[in-house]
Amino acid sequence: MSFILLGILNSQASGGGGGVAGYFAGGEASGGNSSVVNKYTFPDDTRSTLSPGLSAVNIGMGGYANSGVAGYFAGGEEPTWDDVEKFAFPTDSRSVLSNVLTANRTYTSGFSNSGVAGYIAGGRNPQTASVDKMSFPSDSVSALGTGLSAVRSELAAMSNYGVAGYVGGGRGGSPYTENYSTVDKFAFPSDSRTTLASGLSTARTQVSAMADSGTAGYFGGGGGTLVSTVDKFAFPSDSRTTLGSGLSSNRRGMGGFADSGVAGYFGGGGSYSTTVDKFAFPSDSRSTLASGLSPGRQNAIGGMADIGVV
């Protein structure tokens, strides 16, 4: 664990990138739900498509990674799963961990304390506030004693490795119509939960997230009222600002990942969008990749990244 964190911090300090690749998985394409996994290799952001992709078409998965070892996409809707799909790095070979989540869940979110554990938070079918924890390297799963502060799904999560994971936004309530601005924080390694005094700048669902570990986390886009907003939470204070340049268009249901110390990415969403917006660290200046998603997808795309072991 200490070696992974040292590598992240060194890449940030030098301005160089130790990252390997980011992955966008599943989502809804114009012809139906998708099993496609697009891979973006760092630092040139070249896109390839994994063969095989997911074991079945799926939306609503949470993505997280044990960086340098494997990436995971958990849960989903086709069917509503308690399975986890695992892609071993660097070969990207896929295996399916069957019936490992503590319950079926879709429109969930994932974050990780790389080298230690991955987490799947919230979801629905039925609605839940539960947070499952997958311990590395055994991939054994247990439920946290304290879950989210409220039942919600269509939410987003990101991590400050070695420090805390954050889960923000989403939809819940009874009936299922209330959008949230809440950001819950889970401190590592105790997994104790607090709720940030300043949540998202607006309540919204199908928000997406990524993080520049050690520096800041970002929550981008979302609906009820569709927005291009990107909120930034500085570490360790968790103070929130809103970027001057948000997404290139109003979108929700995107995937998110980051090459920590280099750039963060939000991909897809909207109306079967192919767009991948890239935010350079530390300036947060935005550009749009020449090669977007293939095919264009919306509706809860999974995202995760291998930022390597240095």
Pair type for strands 183-187 and 164-168: antiparallel
Backbone angles phi, psi at 3, to 5 degrees: -70, -35
How far apart CA 204 and CA 167 sit, in angstroms, is: 13
How far apart CA 113 and CA 116 sit, in angstroms, is: 6
pLDDT given at position 51:
95
Task: Identify the structural domains of the chain with CATH numbers, from first to last.
Answer: 2-306 (2.120.10.80)
User: In sequence order, what are the beta bridge partners of 119?
Assistant: 111, 133
What is the arithmetic mean of pLDDT over 15-20? 63
DSSP state of 274: -
How far apart CA 236 and CA 40 sit, in angstroms, is: 29
pLDDT band at 16 (very low <50, low <70, confident <90, very high): very low
What is the arithmetic mean of pLDDT over 81-107? 96
**Does 1 have pLDDT greater than 60?**
no
pLDDT given at position 310:
37
CA neighbor of 73 nearest in space, from 48, 43, 101, 49: 101
Residue 183 tokens read as 């950001």
Residues 6+ apart with CB under 8 A from 47: 38, 39, 40, 289, 291, 292, 294
pLDDT band at 18 (very low <50, low <70, confident <90, very high): low
pLDDT given at position 17:
52
Mean pLDDT for all residues in the chain: 92
Per residue in 38-53, pLDDT (tens digit) is: 999 999 999 999 999 9
pLDDT given at position 309:
66
User: In sequence order, what are the beta bridge partners of 143?
Assistant: 132
pLDDT band at 3 (very low <50, low <70, confident <90, very high): very low
pLDDT band at 8 (very low <50, low <70, confident <90, very high): very low
pLDDT given at position 174:
80
**Does 25 have pLDDT greater than 90?**
yes
Per residue in 144-174, pLDDT (tens digit) is: 999 999 999 999 999 999 999 999 999 998 8
Per residue in 266-286, pLDDT (tens digit) is: 999 999 999 999 999 999 999
What is the arithmetic mean of pLDDT over 206-222? 97
**Does 4 have pLDDT greater than 60?**
no
Give residue 63's identity as a one-letter amino acid code: G
Q: What is the pTM of this model?
A: 0.94
Per residue in 98-117, pLDDT (tens digit) is: 999 999 999 999 999 999 99
How far apart CA 293 and CA 283 sit, in angstroms, is: 25
Q: Are 215 and 161 in contact (CB under 8 A)?
A: no
In the chain, % of residues over pLDDT 90: 88
SS3 content of the chain, % helix, strand, coil (to 5): 5, 45, 55
What is the arithmetic mean of pLDDT over 245-263? 97
Give the chain's count of helices (H) and strands (E).
1, 29
pLDDT given at position 7:
37
Backbone angles phi, psi at 19, to 5 degrees: -75, 160
How far apart CA 85 and CA 93 sit, in angstroms, is: 10
